[in-house]
C-alpha cells in the first residue's frame, strides 16, 4: 500500500460571529452570503492558488434549508466566483460540521485523490434555530433509544453536572469568566483579528460593517454570573453565562497536500496527524470529546502528555471541565484555549470547527516549543470529534528550554 500523502492546513478565515435574532448584526444577511464572503476572502489571501486547481468544496450546515440549503458547497463555490469545473457538497454533523468538512477533505487529500480543497461551515441560528423543521422518528422515544429531551443541549449539560457532583455551578462560572477575560486579552493583543473577514451589514439604522465578534462580554463578573437564571431546570447549573450562545457566522479554510503547497509556494500553518469521531449516550453528549480524543491519540501513537495546546469548543463550561478532569488537566492550564472560547466568542454550530483550527494555528506560530496540538468538540445526538495537528514551526531546542 502506498504511503499516506501529507495533509496541511494552509490558511483559515471566518466572519465575525454575531448574535442570533432580530437584534443581531446579521439578521438581514443571508447565510450563504456569509460563507461566500469567507471563501472569497480565503482565495484573495492566497493569490497563487488557481481557482481551477481546487478539487472540491465541502461546506457544513446543521439546518440545511432555505438560504442554508441547496448543496451549499456547490452553490457557495459558484457564488464566490470559483470556476464552474469546481464541485462542492454539503455536510451535516451538527456542531462538528466544519470539523467534518476538514476531515473529509483531509482524508481525500491523504488518499491522494485531491491536491487542494476548501472546507468550512455556516450557521445562521437567527434564521434557522437548531432543530427547526426536523421530524425525529418516533421510534427514538417509543423504543427508548434516547430520552425525550436528548435534543435539548442544555438538558444534556445539566445531566453532566448530575453525574459528576464535583462539577459545581461555581466551577463552571469561574471557567466562563476566564473565557471572557482571555478573549478580551486576545483581542487586545491582536491575536483574533488577523483571521476575521469584514462583512457588510444592513439594519433599520442603515448599512454597517461587522469587524469583530458581537457576543463577548468583557465586563462579566463572577457575581453577575452567579445571579443568572437557569433556564433548563429550576435551581439548575447551566446559564446563559456558562454556555455558548445562539450565533450566526461562517468559516472556510484551505487544505493541500504537502507537495502542492510546496509547488504553489503556500505557507503551512499546521500538518494533519490524525482524527477521530466517537459516540456516547445522547443524554450526556458533552462527554463525546473524551472517547474521540482517546481514539485520535491511539491512531496517532501519541498520549495526552504529547499535546502541548488544546482548542476545545466551549459549548458549555461543564463539558470542557469533564474533558479536563478525565485527562488530569487543571481548569486554568495555560495550554487550554489560550484565546478564550465559544462561551465568549459564540458557537454558530456547523462553523465552529474551523474557528478552533484558526486559533490553534495562530498559537502554533507563537509556540515553537510545542509539537502537537488538538481541536476537539462535543456534538449533538451524543458524539465527539477530535483532530490532532503537528506544528510546522516546532523547534527541538525551544522545547528543551
> Which residues are known to be catalytic?
95, 347, 378
Mean pLDDT within 117-130: 95
Predicted pLDDT of residue 163 = 94
Cβ–Cβ under 8 Å, residues 34 and 15: yes
Contacts of 138 (CB under 8 A, 6+ apart): none
Task: Let me know how long the chain is.
Answer: 401
Predicted pLDDT of residue 2 = 55
For 102, list phi and psi in degrees, rounded to 5: -65, -45
Rounded to two decimals, the pTM is: 0.96
Mean pLDDT within 77-103: 98
Q: How confident is the model at residue 399 (pLDDT cuts 50, 70, 90)?
A: confident
Residues 213 and 358: their CA atoms lie apart, in Å, by: 15
Q: How many domains does the chain have?
A: 1
Cβ–Cβ under 8 Å, residues 223 and 170: no
Domain that holds residue 334: 144-192+272-391
Contacts of 50 (CB under 8 A, 6+ apart): none
Q: Which of 34-43, 94-103, 146-155, 242-251 has the lowest mean pLDDT?
A: 146-155
Closest of 113, 104, 7 to residue 59, by C-alpha? 104
Residues 257 and 386: their CA atoms lie apart, in Å, by: 20
CATH number for position 291: 3.40.47.10
Q: Categorise residue 209: left if φ over 0, alpha if ψ from -120 to 50, beta otherwise.
A: beta
5 in any annotated domain: no
Contacts of 271 (CB under 8 A, 6+ apart): 6, 7, 8, 9, 258, 389, 390, 391, 392
278 three-state secondary structure: strand
Mean pLDDT within 14-18: 98
The pLDDT tens digits for 194-236 are: 999 999 999 888 999 999 999 999 999 999 999 999 999 999 9
Q: Please give the grid coordinates belonging to residue 242.
A: 456558562
279 in any annotated domain: yes
127 in any annotated domain: no
The pLDDT tens digits for 267-279 are: 999 999 999 999 9
Residues 334 and 254: their CA atoms lie apart, in Å, by: 28
92 in any annotated domain: no
103 in any annotated domain: no
The pLDDT tens digits for 290-333 are: 999 999 999 999 999 999 999 999 999 999 999 999 999 999 99
Amino acid at each position: 500500500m502506498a504511503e499516506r500523502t501529507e495533509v496541511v492546513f494552509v490558511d483559515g478565515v471566518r466572519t465575525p460571529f454575531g448574535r442570533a435574532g432580530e437584534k443581531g448584526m446579521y439578521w438581514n444577511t443571508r447565510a450563504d452570503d456569509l460563507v461566500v464572503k469567507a471563501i472569497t476572502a480565503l482565495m484573495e489571501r492566497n493569490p497563487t492558488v488557481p481557482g481551477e486547481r481546487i478539487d472540491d468544496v465541502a461546506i457544513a450546515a446543521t439546518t440545511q434549508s432555505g438560504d442554508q440549503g441547496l448543496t451549499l458547497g456547490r452553490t457557495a463555490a459558484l457564488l464566490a466566483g470559483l470556476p464552474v469545473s469546481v464541485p462542492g457538497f454539503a455536510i451535516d454533523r451538527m456542531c462538528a460540521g466544519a470539523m467534518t468538512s476538514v476531515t473529509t477533505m483531509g482524508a481525500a487529500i491523504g488518499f491522494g485523490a485531491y491536491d487542494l480543497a476548501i472546507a468550512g461551515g455556516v450557521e445562521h441560528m437567527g434564521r434557522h434555530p437548531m432543530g427547526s423543521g426536523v421530524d425525529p422518528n418516533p421510534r427514538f422515544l417509543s423504543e427508548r433509544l434516547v430520552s425525550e429531551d436528548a435534543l435539548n443541549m442544555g438538558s444534556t449539560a445539566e445531566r453532566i453536572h448530575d453525574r459528576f457532583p464535583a462539577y459545581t455551578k461555581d466551577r463552571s462560572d469561574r471557567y466562563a469568566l476566564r473565557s471572557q477575560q482571555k478573549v478580551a486579552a486576545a483581542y487586545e493583543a491582536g491575536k483574533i483579528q488577523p483571521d476575521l473577514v469584514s462583512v457588510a451589514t444592513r439594519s433599520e439604522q442603515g448599512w454597517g460593517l461587522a469587524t469583530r465578534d458581537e457576543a463577548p462580554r468583557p465586563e462579566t463578573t463572577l457575581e453577575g454570573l452567579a445571579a443568572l437564571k437557569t433556564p433548563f431546570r429550576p435551581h439548575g447549573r447551566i446559564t446563559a453565562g456558562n454556555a455558548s450562545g445562539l450565533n450566526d457566522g461562517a468559516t472556510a479554510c484551505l487544505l493541500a497536500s504537502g507537495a502542492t503547497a510546496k509547488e504553489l509556494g503556500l505557507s503551512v500553518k499546521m500538518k494533519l496527524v490524525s482524527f477521530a469521531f466517537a459516540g456516547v449516550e445522547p443524554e450526556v453528549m458533552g462527554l463525546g470529546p473524551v472517547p474521540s480524543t482517546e481514539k485520535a491519540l491511539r491512531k496517532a501513537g501519541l498520549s495526552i502528555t504529547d499535546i502541548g495546546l488544546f482548542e476545545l469548543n466551549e459549548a458549555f463550561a461543564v463539558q470542557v471541565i469533564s474533558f479536563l478532569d478525565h485527562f488530569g488537566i487543571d481548569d486554568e492550564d495555560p495550554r487550554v484555549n489560550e484565546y478564550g472560547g465559544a462561551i465568549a466568542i459564540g458557537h454558530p454550530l456547523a462553523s465552529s470547527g474551523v474557528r478552533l483550527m484558526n486559533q490553534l494555528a495562530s498559537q502554533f506560530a507563537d509556540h515553537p516549543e510545542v509539537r502537537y496540538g488538538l481541536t476537539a468538540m462535543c456534538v449533538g445526538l451524543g458524539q465527539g470529534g477530535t483532530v490532532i495537528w503537528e506544528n510546522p514551526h516546532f523547534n527541538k531546542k525551544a522545547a528543551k528550554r
